[in-house]
Chains A and B, each alone.
Chain A
Amino acid sequence: DQQVKQNSPSLSVQEGRISILNCDYTNSMFDYFLWYKKYPAEGPTFLISISSIKDKNEDGRFTVFLNKSAKHLSLHIVPSQPGDSAVYFCAASPSSEGTYKYIFGTGTRLKVLA
């Protein structure tokens, strides 16, 4: 059973518009959440994080929203740029004393059209 789900395998967005990537999880013990961007033949690049004590975190064009009651998080990219075209992964982990064992979603491929 998948504890972290990214139900949209792909998404196309026009340059300059907002991209919204979604992630759902089932384990109420998850307290830490990460988003990554991945280009082919490269390692995942960390984008932004959020812990369960917050419902929003912003970093430049990237904002992550967390809805704990719905067990849902989303990544907003505004404005979208062609260089944002990549596969995006969300990941979730329960609290721990230093060791974070993240469960990853299967990814959403974002295509930003010029």
Chain B
Amino acid sequence: DAGITQSPRHKVTETGTPVTLRCHQTENHRYMYWYRQDPGHGLRLIHYSYGVKDTDKGEVSDGYSVSRSKTEDFLLTLESATSSQTSVYFCAISRSYEQYFGPGTRLTVT
């Protein structure tokens, strides 16, 4: 157990609305990551953070932004949700080169 929680766990929203997903960790890890999981694609990296206020893009970052104002919280924002962003979103932390995941947020954009 890596002490990672995600909120909300489920969300349904309408196209064009902003959405923020939260990842919270209790172990003070420096590196945090957001992934999305879709059928046929495995998990794909959206954004990652290497410290407070230090973030960078991953493989599928278009349409997403992130913020990290405290070590324990990493927020993922969809500024204007689209149906293609319907997915399951996972947050992860690194311990050395191993990554540990949170329980996920299932987001449906209608």
**A contact residues vs B (CB 8 Å cutoff):** 4, 32, 34, 36, 41-46, 49, 51, 89, 91, 93, 98-107
CB-contact partner of A51 in B45, B48, B97, B100, under 8 A: B97
28 contacts between A and B (CB under 8 A): A4-B42, A34-B98, A34-B99, A41-B104, A42-B104, A43-B90, A43-B103, A44-B90, A44-B101, A46-B99, A46-B100, A49-B97, A49-B98, A51-B97, A89-B42, A89-B43, A91-B43, A91-B99, A98-B31, A99-B31, A99-B48, A99-B94, A101-B48, A102-B43, A102-B99, A104-B44, A106-B40, A106-B42
Asked if residues B58 and A101 are in contact (CB atoms below 8 Å), the reply is yes
Q: Which residue of B lies closest to A104 (CB)?
A: B42
Which B residues fall within an 8 A CB radius of A? 4, 30-31, 35, 40-45, 48, 50, 56, 58-59, 90, 94, 97-104, 106
List the 5 closest pairs (A to B, CB-CB), nearest first. Answer: A104-B42, A43-B101, A104-B43, A32-B97, A106-B42
Closest to B101 in A: A43
Number of residue pairs A-B, CB distance < 8 angstroms: 62
Q: Is the CB of A98 within 8 A of B30?
A: yes
DSSP class of B's interface residues: helix, strand, loop or mixed?
Answer: strand
Report the nearest B residue to A5, measured CB to CB: B42
Quote the shortest CB–CB distance from A109 to chain B (angstroms). 12
Tell me, in angstroms, the Cα distance from A25 to B31 when the chains sit together. Answer: 25
Known interface pairs A93-B97, A105-B42; A43-B48 also in contact (CB < 8 Å): no
B98: which A residues are within 8 A, CB to CB?
A: 34, 46, 49
A4, B94: Cα distance in complex, Å: 20
Q: Decide: A100 and B99 in contact? CB cutoff 8 A.
A: yes
B61 → chain A, closest Cβ, in Å?
12
| Shortest Cβ distance from residue A43 to the other chain B in the assembled complex, whole angstroms | 4
A1 to chain B, nearest CB (A): 12
